[in-house]
Structure formats: structure tokens, C-alpha cells
Amino acid sequence: MGLYLCIFDGEDEVDGVEVGSYADFGTFRTAVATHVEGGVEGSRCPILMLHSDCDGQWSPEEAVALRAELAEIIRKFAELPPEPLGSDWKFKVAKMFGLRPANLDDCFFDVDGEPLLDRLIGLARLSVERNLPILFQ
């Protein structure tokens, strides 16, 4: 089962990001805790880190803070060497799209091979602009 983060306006889907499995999202958050938060989960990125990855949502107000957290993560991950991709689907997607991670940021992408952090920032931006929550599905 995968994690899908999305924004709906009534019945219409505005945008969505298929993150991968819940384990993949956990691996991403572990990297954030390790490399951005110094091992203290939620200390620098509470919106991202302390929200359950089960059903729920980030409000537009939380999306403002989330954008700042994600920008900080991008800055830090860009300075760090890549780590093993881990999941079989990630190897397949990397091969399909010719992805060759040069830093830690490049190691996290969605199921379409798009940079995960950029996609999440885009969702947060849309959430704020449209005053709609980001839903966890």
C-alpha cells in the first residue's frame, strides 16, 4: 500500500503526489531526523515529522510552515552524499528515467521520478494559494 498526498477542491483533484510505500516515507523522515534534526525528531521540522502518515491532513496554515521546513531539508540534503535507494520500485524508476543521485536530495523522488521535496513544496504552495488542505490517503 502506498502513501498518496493530494489536494481536492470539492470533488475535483487539484494535484497529488504518490510518495511510494509508507516504509519509503518512513525512510525519508528518518533521513530528515538524522541529517536535519540531529536525531531529535520534530525539533526542526515538526509539521513534517510529527504528523501521522495515516489518514489525516495538513491545513493550509500548516502548509506555510511545511514549505519552510521542506526548503531547509532541500538545502541540507543538497550538501550530503547520496545514500542507497533501498526500495525495488526506486531502483526501477531510477533506471527508467536515468536518475543518478548526486546528493541525498536526489535519492528521494516520487513514483514518476520527480524530486519528492520539490513535489511536496508544490503541494504546500497550492494548499496555501487555494486555501485547501493536503490530504493523506
Domain ranges in the chain are 2-136
Distance from C-alpha of 65 to C-alpha of 72, rounded to nearest angstrom: 11
Distance from C-alpha of 59 to C-alpha of 66, rounded to nearest angstrom: 10
Distance from C-alpha of 128 to C-alpha of 130, rounded to nearest angstrom: 6
pLDDT > 70 in the chain, percent: 99
Q: Is the pTM here over 0.85, yes or no?
A: yes
pLDDT tens sequence across 1-45: 589 999 999 999 999 999 998 999 999 999 999 999 999 999 999
**pLDDT-based confidence at residue 86 (cuts at 50, 70, 90):** confident
